[in-house]
A and B are shown apart, each in its own frame.
Chain A
């Protein structure tokens, strides 16, 4: 804070002043005013759509409210019921568990596969740009269109996946056709695979940007020392990619934790609540059962979980020096 004031004074001292009566004060004030004017829309936006909602949902999380009658203050009852009353809110813990399982399935694949592909693409091969572009297409495609596509491809009777399994020798011995999104055993894993597929191109780009800033001299000197390809990967690439990997873990965790669209569109949380993610459950409480108090309490618990993960990130991830 102090440094900014000093900088402020310095700039004022250096700057040549125009002639006029009391120019210093005028220009100083005008500069201040312009600054506030420039950020005024942001301040208003911030107060209305960031601060007010956070405060409002804190208040409503302490009430019982169906949006028709006025809210009734009940203290921390919503939080207590969500956490401890399995009869009233049987979905709370299962939906958290579903979300964690989803993350646990998706995360390893969305970290390892893009890393391998980024390592290949980083070798300055011909057609690199083509592959990068192709892999990124699922990221920019509207999630709803992707959902429709998978619904068709995963159809139990005429979907391409099952037809491929049935008609391919060897494959049909190893895997049996499934109603991929319709069975308790496969639905969540299928959604997780879809998420890995959808985020692959993005993660590759992040890895490529991480690989780009590893100094080439490190590899050269390792080469002189006779290091093998694997050793170079193990002792140079991997340690140097640590911030990138952490970045992907954190953003992946936060993103996957809020998974909603595909579940809402393809399984509605079923079969047997096996894909009822946390945010889908939150959505149901708010817009199907009109339990605004409970939904707001769930929002706050979500915020808390994500804040903890983010703070862990700040604690353990080596912070890069700002340019």
Chain B
């Protein structure tokens, strides 16, 4: 009886470990599909042009005459000559950082007011704002170009910033986060005579710091990645962002892959590093966002 049971246990365990191996195989295969292309991209960027064009490639560059393995940064030097990367980075970071900071400040102020301050029409205003969430960005694309022209900020960095200087969705998220912290602390401060501004800055805001980090990262990533809006608002190459600069390289049509490949590593790598650093906040942000839906 006991023996029989033990035998059953062994087959069960064998089944389980087989299953485990199978599942890991699936995960590893998926990993190859998901990050394999990036690894290939990076290694391609370290090859000389002539060694990229082969139908028997190796991951690490191999000299086609001697067969020796090597690494070269020549493509990067060339890429920096074709695209003005320092300027592209400057433009991108300028726009992304200003937009992120202003977004955090203004969105959390509005979110706080909707969560904590009582004023007539509060719920009504908030509901009207929420309806606007149903309007997708591309619907506003063309009229916003017209607005930006009317404001005289077409083809300027300000034109990249202003239309996205706030976000109704982020106001909604901030309101949720402020609901999530106990009001008692703020009330205590207010009894002690602190005004709304001070309670907001000194008590409420520090309590939602993780939320600010999460929303800040998302706003930054979105601005860094955005392609369509800069495409329709900027004509002056001097003001191009990284996405736009790289985009123009792709659409120029000349298939100089060694430059394209090195340039896309330059554009993508900083963001992947940032993602790795703040990975936790991004994951949590998405999960919070989807639950609140």
Contact = CB atoms under 8 A, between A and B. Distances in A.
Contact of B136 (A123, A125, A148, A302): A302
26 contacts: A12-B118, A32-B120, A34-B195, A38-B110, A38-B112, A38-B117, A39-B125, A42-B129, A49-B144, A52-B143, A140-B275, A141-B38, A143-B227, A145-B246, A148-B249, A148-B261, A149-B38, A152-B257, A157-B55, A158-B55, A206-B290, A209-B290, A282-B138, A286-B232, A299-B143, A303-B139
Given A38-B113, A137-B34, A160 B286 contact: no
B143 A148 contact: no
Interface string B51-72: 0111111000000000000000
Given A49-B147, A137-B38, A131 B282 contact: no
B271 A142 contact: yes
Interface string A53-90: 11011001000000000000000000000000000000
A173 interface: no
B77 interface: no
A236 interface: no
A249 interface: no
Nearest to A10: B118
Interface string A101-140: 0000000000000001100110101010001111111101
Nearest to B126: A39
Q: Which of B129, B136, B195, B232 has the most chain A CB atoms closer than 10 A to its own CB?
A: B136
B203 interface: no
Interface in B141-164: 141-147, 162-163
Contact of B53 (A158, A200, A258, A300): A158
Interface residues of A, number: 105
Given A31-B117, A144-B243, A151-B250, A4 B122 contact: yes
A149 B262 CA distance: 10
B143 A53 contact: yes
Contacts of A34: 113, 117, 119, 195-197
Contacts of B106: 41-42, 45
Given A32-B120, A152-B44, A157-B53, 15 more contacts: A4-B122, A35-B117, A36-B119, A41-B106, A53-B144, A57-B142, A131-B30, A138-B34, A144-B244, A144-B267, A152-B260, A205-B287, A295-B142, A300-B139, A306-B139
Contact of A148 (B118, B162, B264, B275): B264
Contacts of A268: 251
A158 B34 contact: no
A299 B165 contact: no
Interface in A1-22: 1, 4-5, 7-8, 11-12, 16, 18
Nearest to B263: A148
B168 A50 contact: yes
Contacts of A244: 290
A153 B142 contact: no
A310 interface: yes
Contacts of A145: 246, 264-265, 267-268
A273 interface: no
Contacts of B53: 157-158
Given A152-B261, A307-B134, A265 B31 contact: no
Contacts of A160: 37, 40, 57
Nearest to B33: A197
A209 B261 contact: no
Nearest to A45: B166
Contacts of A18: 193
Contacts of A50: 132, 135, 140, 168
Contacts of A142: 224-225, 227, 242-243, 246, 267-268, 271
B87 to A, nearest CB: 17
Given A42-B110, A42-B129, A155-B257, A302 B139 contact: yes
A254 to B, nearest CB: 6
7 closest A-B pairs by CB = A35-B119, A53-B143, A38-B113, A145-B268, A148-B264, A209-B287, A35-B117
Contacts of B163: 49
B2 interface: no
Contacts of B274: 140
Given A49-B147, A149-B41, A150-B37, A133 B138 contact: no
